[in-house]
Chains A and B, each alone.
Chain A
């Protein structure tokens, strides 16, 4: 790999890592409250469609991102109502939300733009190069000549970390995920905290989806989330439920995805599906103990009913 190829590789690594980072930072907050939102994929695809429709309607990519966040939040709300409000099984609810999200967005897209999938051209979220920083050799353009949503991810990671570990709010959130009974006894409203954390996660996944549609593709396509919701959940595990590590884990996964293109480009004589599978193999490896001794929140995926 020469210098130019390497720069290109890093750029695409970051570009592919950003949607994962956005979704995974949100999911970190959700999981820290004791909720595992398998329906993240549903929020991402809804965010992608919401972002596309919003950008068209308001004729601007910025408002498109906001629409994407709203769409992701609404899907998160559906999950929250069933899994938290009604205490339904989180895994099953999340799976239903994912499948429903993929189906609904496909249906809405076809109803709006026709079954043939008219080529949709959207206002795009153009990269913004940050002066000075983007001129750092090798990594500068990769990290600092990206869409604004990338900078949002860079900002959200430390903010989420600070809230989680340094504020009373974060303390209550973590207590809710570790020992809901203890949190309840301390006066924390467990289900409300979980609701809010899930909505936040949904909104972040929605922004990730909007980023896919507006910054990556410039269009919407059915199933364009392509499993990113599930990979984001693995990223949370790899990042040990710590937003800062999660950001790095997401970029690492981005690099794994970027690698597939480069291995193909370098002309390895293998079926391209093998390269496509690479990030997913990595996901399995991450989940199968690569993570070492990290520990999930003790009450993760356990429904909570106040026993009054």
Chain B
């Protein structure tokens, strides 16, 4: 094989007491799509940020086209032809899509930028609403904008951190076609995706990181899923969470459902992004709500969870609804509060914690300790700050806290977004177990596989309307087609 475009060796990086990278290696060749795998916290994002010039490594070497290089800034990375698409959006919400794209091409006049944008949209088929304000567009469009912004600079090396997390299956296929095409033009493409099958579908070669080290680099052709998962998580636990667990082994045969027990009911609810939404949620079922982001499912979740009262129509929902919001970091937890405080935020108003003006900290701490143990939260103690936990552990804290409310209904929005295989499997298992225990569960997700695997009934949201998916159309293709009907609204 020819010399690699990019060669990373022995890369180390420490954040405080956490050694995020401890000797990572990565070779990227022209013309290949290279998948990078690893559990949450394995160092994938850190490695990509080093490559994108955002983080300076503590040790290690980087060669670009055989030349030893140090990247001092994102600007340095670009000038050497490396384009990074970030995991978390780096768009300015208050600016328009066009302005954000112009920001990505800084140094050129705004009119000049317009021409480059048009040409790149034409060439790549990535369509975005240029005049819309970023805060008003859905995450799918934001993701496209983010990718487009990077492609405007025509990078030789394209690095994508979790680009598929918010896309529909069709959009993922479209993105992968584009990546293959870009690699075919002689670029090197590297990506991280949290779904193993996606990475396998698009990659020519694979690198697996574990605990900040490169533990395996292999051709796609010669790699078995089992071997990859074993490399990701370490051989001991591989069997327990082999992909099969959440792919096939979890679905119940028949829902233990009492069809008379309707826990939540919406009748003709109309409001922001909702049009005449009518829906029943029953005890013991998982109701899957699919849809392209921005078609009203977020608003539906808020109404079902009792967080928003509809202006028009009737929403009959229990007084307490457990709610797992989609953005853990801004809506779920207060990062600077410890676990006890985060748990107290939701629970202290419960009768069993008394009604006086004083916070019953002892009882709340006990409750936090119970949740930590019951949900297996990896944290030194309940005095750990929520922001210090990994995404998977934050999600466990939220689920544990919400369930402690003793609610009959749970609404979860994209509960496994950004979680690794093991953490996602845990959340999925928990949802199924709770449904079996009689809870009514509403699972709102843009991950179609998740919806299809876990749900007893599936509805699709398109442009604020609810479309019930008949049993015989509950396939990726069938649901995907219904979802796409809502595309034009967001992009």
* A interface residues, Cβ below 8 angstroms from B: 166-168, 171-172, 174-175, 178-179, 181-188, 295, 297-298, 307-308
Report the minimum CB–CB distance from B466 to chain A (whole Å).
Answer: 31
Q: A185-B86, A187-B74, A187-B75 are in contact. Are A171 and B54 (CB under 8 A)?
A: no
Q: Indicate if the CB atoms of A308 and B54 lie closer than 8 Å.
A: yes
Contact B55 A308 (CB under 8 A): yes
Cβ of B90 < 8 Å from any Cβ of A?
Answer: yes
Neighbour of A178 across the interface among B95, B104, B107, B149, CB < 8 A: B95
Q: Mark B349-367, 1 if CB is under 8 A from A, else 0.
A: 0000000000000000000
Beyond A174-B95, A179-B90, 15 additional pairs, beta carbon < 8 A: A168-B109, A168-B113, A172-B103, A178-B93, A179-B91, A182-B103, A183-B103, A184-B54, A184-B74, A185-B74, A186-B103, A187-B78, A188-B103, A308-B55, A308-B56
B92 to A175, Cβ gap below 8 A? yes
Q: Which residues on B sit within 8 Å (CB–CB) of A187?
A: 73-75, 78, 106
Once A187-B73, A187-B75 are accepted as A-B contacts, the answer to whether A171 and B102 lie under 8 Å apart by CB is: yes
- A185's nearest neighbour on chain B, judged by CB, is B90
Residues on B with C-beta less than 8 A from A188 are 103, 106
CA of A89 to CA of B55, assembled, Å? 25
Q: Given contacts A184-B74, A185-B86, A187-B74, is CB(A168)–CB(B94) below 8 Å?
A: no
Which chain B residues lie closer than 8 Å to A308 at the CB level? 54-56
Central interface residue in A166, A172, A186, by most chain B CB within 10 Å: A186
Q: Find the A residue at minimum CB distance from B55.
A: A308
* B95 x A186 contact (CB < 8 A): no
**A168–B92 CB distance below 8 A:** no
Instruction: Give the residue name and chain of the B residue nearest to A174 (CB).
Output: B95
In-complex Cβ contact of A298 among B86, B94, B106 (8 A): B94
CA of A183 to CA of B103, assembled, Å = 8
Does B91 lie within 8 Å of A182, measured CB to CB?
yes
User: For residues 65 through 97 of chain B, which have their beta carbon under 8 Å from a beta carbon of chain A?
Assistant: 73-75, 78, 86, 89-95
How many chain B residues touch A (CB < 8 A): the figure is 27
Give the docked Cα–Cα distance between A66 and B403 (Å).
67
Q: How far is the CB of B131 from chain A (nearest CB, A)?
A: 14
- What are 16 A-B pairs with beta-carbon distances under 8 A? A168-B102, A168-B106, A171-B95, A172-B106, A174-B95, A179-B91, A182-B92, A182-B100, A185-B54, A186-B149, A187-B73, A298-B93, A298-B94, A307-B55, A308-B54, A308-B55
The reply to whether B95 and A175 contact each other, CB–CB distance below 8 Å, is yes
Supposing A186-B106, A187-B75, A308-B56 touch, asked if A171 and B90 sit within 8 A by C-beta, the answer is: no
B102 touches A179 (CB 8 A): no
Q: Bound complex: CA of A83 vs CA of B108, how far in Å?
A: 30
Alpha-carbon gap, A120 to B90, bound state (A): 55
Residues of B within 8 A of A307 (CB): 55
Report A-chain residues with C-beta under 8 Å of the C-beta of B109: 168
B99 contacts A by Cβ under 8 Å: yes
A183 touches B110 (CB 8 A): no
A residues within 8 A CB of B113?
168
Chain B contacts for A182, CB-based, 8 A: 89-92, 100, 103
Find B110's partner among A166, A178, A181, A298 (CB 8 Å cutoff).
Answer: A166
Chain B neighbourhood of A171, CB < 8 A? 95, 99, 102-103, 106, 110
Q: Most chain-A Cβ atoms within 10 A of its Cβ — which of B86, B94, B100, B110?
A: B94
Known contacts A185-B74, A308-B56: A174-B92 contact under CB 8 Å: yes
Chain A residues, Cβ within 8 Å of B110: 166-168, 171
Closest residue to B149 on the A side, CB-wise? A186
Contact assessment for A186 and B104 in the assembled complex, using a CB-CB cutoff below 8 Å: yes
- Complex CA gap A10/B92 in Å reads 42
A183–B73 alpha-carbon span in the complex (Å)? 12
Query: Distance in Å from the Cβ of B336 to the closest Cβ of chain A?
Result: 14
- B91: which A residues are within 8 A, CB to CB? 179, 182
Q: What residues of B have a CB within 8 angstroms of the CB of A174 in the complex?
A: 92, 94-95
Q: A193 CA to B326 CA in the complex, in Å?
A: 34
* Chain A residue contacts of B55, Cβ below 8 A: 307-308
- C-alpha spacing A186/B113, complex, angstroms: 15
Query: A295: nearest residue on chain B (CB-CB)?
Result: B94
Residues in B whose Cβ lies below 8 Å from that of A183: 92, 103
Contact with A along B455-484 (1 / 0, CB 8 A): 000000000000000000000000000000
